[in-house]
Structure 1
């Protein structure tokens, strides 16, 4: 009995065996052109887990008949690289497939760069992170970037059917109906490795896989994500934007995925940011309730913690929105770049050489809303603009307008008379 996992046994060795990625390997597409012209370049494949990035790299090397070595950016060390460089002396253009290439530290990068530069090795990196943000510019400028896309449902079903028939796979020892394959493909969420692993698990239970078998052995859909990968950040972005857009159903959907992952830390951070950034004065009490809900969720943990979180998400989604706080604080930034404006003397903690009549008087609370607090050069600038989406902020706006009608002054001596 072959003890190697089905996903490992079914790894393609030629471009024609690769499922999906037709934008790269289809007729007249770039990777197929490279194979046809026997010309390989250093490159980085980026995309979601389980889409075949490392497999695609090894297929290219196999198709072109060149030697390749695997190197993991996290667990590999300088000694491993030195051995690879020595081998490259005998096999110029040796392909080095670097898993988790975004995790290369500076020492390893410094060792790799000259060899990539002179072509003694061809580096093919694989990463779930966006290389425009995660890959060192020195590495990025010496490589070509190619996106490996998530596989669609039909791609996954094609791979599953091949595995059922292939002598390397299940070799027709087990049957699966179309409904079962569709169910596995949907659960896989574009991850071919997950799909093959689930198929193999089902095949240990029965020789006739149906939808009920899949449901019995699929304990959770493939929603977990690498915290460093693009999907994780896309998920958080969609979560936050759904609340901002007042879409309760979408926000609850993305919350459920984050709960499945168990990522309470990200949920807490994004909820707090969204509450203050997007709801704000639109419904200040909802912001306060959000903090209480997060505290409750942390106290009870999952699965019960999902209840207060769902409660606050519905509250935030359906609240009036106001970004006036964020807009106001950001409006200050341009003035910080112009020059350093001095604090008015009468506002200093310990004003020196100032007459008593010109000093701030802590006993005259009747004057505090008539004093000029901004530096002279900024005294007529207004940063806050009220949003009128809620009754609460409309009340704030009315008070703000009244205060604006008062002419503030820096002549405290005159003000005190």
Structure 2
């Protein structure tokens, strides 16, 4: 039985991993571990299809260590014992433990001494946040690395590699993928390479070659194999980003019907990740301090949508879109932050006032650190006049309050009172 294309195309060397260059690129942490052969156990967490298994496979291939794969939920303690016995005989085994967040205490207790000895190099894979879902005993013995959805260039690179690889890929076949089909395959899988390769393989293997022996993969074929609809047949692949842009601009412009229309396009395309991510950005970028409760309710709606999945996810998302459209708007938060960043990037902002510097270590007082710091809670109304900004920028003002909602009106009035008192 032939293995799936996504399985066959897994990299055998660190240099062949697609994406996650913040971890496996030249000079980065995992590459350095492999080069020095000083591997430590680790947890890789992030969305499906982003390369967690590929990284583990590439580490094993690059170091020539034995590589075994188990699932924390379905494989037993006996399976772990077999790996441990192999490690005793061969010296080191790299164990990819999928769904590590479901590791029970019995299996964990068995694993811990083997991790301590270094006989088993554990690479745990999970889609859950390890700081919440994984036992502290395991966390304390591993390094935790986040992996991210692959970008369009990474997906394209991997697809082209699969199309040209004659040994493990589809290179022996005469395949012609149209530009719209390729763009849709790249953009519609939301950074999930496994999904893209599975869709490609199904399209190729289920399409009858023409009279010249060419397997022609059209947009219609890819849509059917991915069970997603293209937003438009945009030859440049920009339609996806155009819809997302129009979605945000419609909410910013308070047009409920336009916002619902563009979200409907994304719903029809099955693109839940783009909708949820963009809604949270919109909430804090465009509504922000004018209506903070709407921001909180948007996060709740997103969480509900992710739990529900389509088609029901459209219900809380629609509520959030309507509320954000009709809410007062303010971009004062992002504007203030960007103004502060612009000043920091110049590098010409001076030193932290001595009174604010850390005074907890021995000798700090001799340096003048914290000697005259005024503890705000020791004063009436928990406030006291004191300089906090460096001398060079002591009069800087980044925040400019807007008057579009009662909450920010109150914040703005308080901001002005405090600023006047500070500088009086």
2:359 maps to none
**Equivalent residue in structure 2 for 1:253, among 244, 263, 267:** 263
SS at match of 1:95: strand
2:200 corresponding residue in structure 1: 199
TM-superposed deviation, 1:309: 6.1
Cα distance in structure 2, aligned partners of 1:303 and 1:145: 34
Indicate conservation of the 8 Å contact 1:244/1:278, yes or no.
no
Which residue of 2 is the match for residue 334 of structure 1?
Answer: none
Tell me which residue corresponds to 1:169: 169
Shift in Å at residue 76 of structure 1?
Answer: 1.1
Classify 1:314/1:117 alpha carbon distance in 2 versus 1 (closer, same or farther; 3 Å).
Answer: closer
Deviations 1:292-321 (A, max 9, x none): xx9xxx9xxx86995x76774555335558
What is the CA distance between 1:214 and its match in structure 2? 2.2
Would you say 1:278 and 2:293 are equivalent positions? yes
TM-superposition CA deviations, 1:18-55 (whole Å, max 9, x none): 11121122111122222221221111111110011012
2:5 alignment counterpart:
6
Whole-Å separation in 2 of the counterparts to 1:150 and 1:144: 20
- The whole-number CA distance in structure 1 between the counterparts of 2:142 and 2:405 is 50
Deviation, structure 1 residue 260: 5.3
Cα distance, 1:253 vs. partner? 3.4
Judge conservation of contact 1:164–1:175 (CA < 8 Å) in 2. no
- Within 5 A, what are the aligned runs for 1:111-126? 111-126=110-125
Instruction: After superposition, give the CA deviation of every residue in 1:188-217 in whole Å (9 maximum; x if it has no partner).
Output: 110111101111122121502233432343
In structure 2, the partner of 1:208 is 216
1:179 to 2:187 alignment: no
- Which residue matches 1:153? 152
Q: CA, structure 1 residues 154+83, in 2 after alignment: closer, same or farther (shift >3 Å)? A: same
Q: TM-score, normalised by structure 1?
A: 0.57
- Match of 2:97, SS state, is strand
- Alpha-carbon distance in 2 for matches of 1:216, 1:110: 47
Q: Contact conserved, 1:7 with 1:193, CA < 8 A, in 2?
A: yes
- The match for 1:56 is 55
Aligned to 1:218: 226
With structure 2 as the length reference, what TM-score do the two structures score?
Answer: 0.56
Partner residue, 1:395: none
* Partners of 1:8 and 1:71 in 2: CA distance: 15
**Structure 2, gaps ≥5 residues long:** 209-214, 231-249, 277-291, 295-300, 329-403, 407-424
SS in 1 for 2:69: strand
SS at match of 1:205: coil
Q: Deviations over 1:344-363 (max 9, x none)?
A: xxxxxxxxxxxxxxxxxxxx
Greater CA deviation, 2-11 or 134-143? 2-11
Instruction: Give 1:120 deviation, angstroms.
Output: 2.2
Aligned to 1:45: 44
Is this contact kept in 2: 1:243–1:313, CA < 8 A? no
Separation in structure 2 between the aligned mates of residue 143 and residue 257 of structure 1, nearest angstrom: 39
When Rg is computed on C-alpha atoms for both structures, the one with the higher figure is: 1
Q: Which residue of 2 aligns with 1:374?
A: none
SS in 2 for 1:107: helix
Residues 221 and 177 (structure 1), Cα distance of their counterparts in 2 relative to 1, 3 Å cut: closer
Task: Give the whole-Å Cα distance in 1 for the aligned partners of 2:253 and 2:137.
Answer: 39
* Residue matched to 1:364: none
Q: CA RMSD in A?
A: 4.2
When residues 247 and 19 of structure 1 are mapped into structure 2, their CA distance, relative to the original with a 3 A threshold, is farther
Counterpart CA distance in 1 for 2:180 and 2:265 is 29
| Partner Cα separation in structure 2 for residue 251 and residue 132 of structure 1 | 38
CA-CA distance at 1:93 after TM superposition: 2.5
Report the secondary structure of 2:181's partner residue.
Answer: helix
Partner of 2:83: 84
Which residue is 1:188 aligned to? 189
Paired with 1:247 and 1:100, the residues of 2 have a C-alpha distance of: 43
- Measure the CA separation in 1 of the matches of 2:312 and 2:120: 53
How far apart are the structure 2 equivalents of 1:136 and 1:11? 29
* Partner-residue secondary structure (3-state), 2:222: helix
Q: Which runs of 5+ in 1 are unaligned?
A: 223-241, 267-276, 280-289, 322-387, 391-417
Tell whether the 8 Å contact from 2:15 to 2:25 is kept in structure 1 after alignment.
Answer: no
What is the number of equivalent residue pairs in this alignment?
Answer: 279
Which residue pairs with 2:324 in the alignment? 317
1:220 deviates by 2.2
CA distance in 1 between partners of 2:172 and 2:81 (Å): 45
